[in-house]
Structure 1
Amino acid sequence: MTTQLVPYEHLNAVQRLQVEAIEIHPQQKQFSGDIHGALHSLGGTPTDSIKGFALLHEDVPVAFLLLKRPPFLPDWASEDTATLHALQVDHRLQGKGLGKACLQALPDVARQAWPQIKGLELSVDAHNESALGLYFKQGWVDRGEAYKGRIGYERRMALAF
């Protein structure tokens, strides 16, 4: 399986339409929103502070995520990091290691976008066991801090470079 995590702005017109067709499982929308919400937040920022990335599988987008930097970092994030948001893998292709491929490629693309960052952070629902398992397996560390999120308690996780 050949995959590549690429900046959204590098996608051609057909690939951008394919990103819009990414579907996530209805139960996952409560955690990550949907692709249209993610693209809306990306399109509304003319700055270099929010970047979208698509995971291409044989040149077809199959997953999408956002990274944020100041002034769009959440209050809980460290200023010297980027935060991961809206990680979405098309539900028709889940279970094929695509989430893992996104997370493995993420440090390199984040450092290319912002060489000054020292790591990545994310917030994940404390009951989202599949996401927690994926993050732990990829080396993310639970910071031991939880806070009340919009749908429940959120765990903060970090990946240092």
Structure 2
Amino acid sequence: MGPTIQAADWKLEPISGADRELVEAIALPPEQEAFAGSLDEVFGRLNEPGAVGLEQGFAVIEPNGEVVGFFVLREGLRRPAWAPPGTVSLHNFRVRPGFQGKGVGRRCISLLEEWFARERPVQPQLMLAVNSRNTAAINAYRKIGFVDTGQRHEEGMGPQYIFAKPLV
């Protein structure tokens, strides 16, 4: 059994719309890409003038310096209609193939919780929408502590379940 990896060995790096090359290695299979959103779409939004301060990308870097996760947070005027005021919504969450199913998603959310604890005096509620057909993601979010709110939302790929995770 290898050495235990401490959370301090992992990094959560805020990235901008100019940092796309950092997450290019997280190429998902087409069936996952359909749910996570294309990098063209994601970085197109991050590069919009209205994104500054309200839409932020994050890369998750493992101890050897490899980028293994990525997600985007939206808040304020950039949050979706299903997210109530004061919440932060999680989007485009992806874990690099080969690292999936190994606790990396949980590590990503743990790093995000640590970031909120440092950067936000008042901890918001974290919410996300997950496609009802994306059972792998639904199960993963539940394991990480997200709870189905019972709210539903219709989007391009079909019905979305709205999940929430209070940050404590």
1:53 to 58, 71, 74: 58
Q: Distance in 2 between matches of 1:53 and 1:25?
A: 21
Gaps of 5+ in 1: none
**Residue of structure 2 equivalent to 1:97:** 103
Q: Distance in 1 between matches of 2:166 and 2:105?
A: 19
How many residues in Structure 1 have an aligned counterpart in Structure 2?
157
2:11 to 4, 18, 24: 4
Which amino acid letter does the alignment assign opposite residue 119 of structure 1? Answer: Q
Which amino acid letter does the alignment assign opposite residue 3 of structure 1? Answer: W
Shift of 1:107: 2.0
Question: For residues 1-161 of structure 1, what are the structure 2 equivalents within 5 Å?
Answer: 1=5, 2-9=9-16, 17-45=21-49, 47-57=52-62, 58-161=64-167
Which amino acid letter does the alignment assign opposite residue 46 of structure 2? Answer: L
Q: Distance in 2 between matches of 1:18 and 1:6?
A: 10
Helix, strand or coil at the partner of 2:77: coil
Q: Distance in 1 between matches of 2:122 and 2:44?
A: 26
Q: TM-score, normalised by structure 1?
A: 0.86
Q: Distance in 1 between matches of 2:134 and 2:115?
A: 25
Which amino acid letter does the alignment assign opposite residue 6 of structure 1? Answer: E
> How much is the aligned-residue C-alpha RMSD, in angstroms?
2.1
Gaps of 5+ in 2: none
Shift of 1:114: 4.2
Shift of 1:16: 5.4
Q: TM-score, normalised by structure 2?
A: 0.83
Call closer, same or farther: CA 1:116–1:26 in 2, change over 3 Å: same
Call closer, same or farther: CA 1:114–1:42 in 2, change over 3 Å: farther
The answer as to whether partners of 1:80 and 1:117 remain within 8 angstroms in 2 is no
Which amino acid letter does the alignment assign opposite residue 65 of structure 1? Answer: F
Q: Distance in 1 between matches of 2:58 and 2:91?
A: 11
Q: Identity over aligned residues, as a percent?
A: 30
